[in-house]
Amino acid sequence: MNTEIIHKYDQGALDGHVSFSDTLRNLDSIGVERYYTYYSRNGETHVERLQFPDVPRLADRFDVDGNVKAIQAIQRQEIDYPEFLRRIISSGTTSYFVFVDGGCVAYYGRRGECHIEPFPSAASP
């Protein structure tokens, strides 16, 4: 697994220079099948720690509508990736898994709540 490419695209997303579509295409090209922890199709794993300023307090309640609004805002390129992360954290998302091969993202709340969001057609690798 090429962890340098993973880091490059994570950092590029945080800096606002790389779109979700570009990230998906590049991760797919190096064999990443899903990520939270990055998992490649050949069984390798990698953990990438994201650091960004002004991380909000995690909401106690999982707010699907708040998550969907953040998803829509980043898809319309109205906000950057760090702001997207702030909004989903404020909406109670504790973690999310991107299923590159499955074409969707699963967002999870503190008590196991889950929202599945299909990739927009333009973002599919």
Phi, psi of 92 (to 5 degrees): 95, 10
* Tens digits of pLDDT across the chain (125 residues): 788 988 898 889 888 888 888 888 888 999 887 777 677 888 888 877 777 788 898 899 999 999 999 999 999 999 999 999 999 999 999 889 999 999 999 999 988 999 999 998 755 55
Domain span holding position 43: 3-49+57-123
Cα separation, 46 vs 34, whole angstroms: 11
**What pLDDT score was predicted for residue 72?**
96
The helix (run of H) or strand (run of E) holding residue 115 is strand 114-118
Q: Could you tell me the CATH number of the domain that includes residue 15?
A: 3.30.1810.10
Task: Give me the number of domains the chain comprises.
Answer: 1
Q: Are 119 and 55 in contact (CB under 8 A)?
A: no
Instruction: Give the pLDDT confidence score for residue 70 in this predicted structure.
Output: 97
How many angstroms separate the CA atoms of 83 and 48, rounded? 19
Q: What is the pLDDT, as a whole number, of residue 23?
A: 87
Task: Specify the pLDDT at position 125.
Answer: 57
Exposed / middle / buried, residue 116 (Cβ in 10 Å: 0-12, 13-18, 19+): exposed
- The angle subtended at Cα 72 by Cα 48 and Cα 51, nearest 5°, is 25
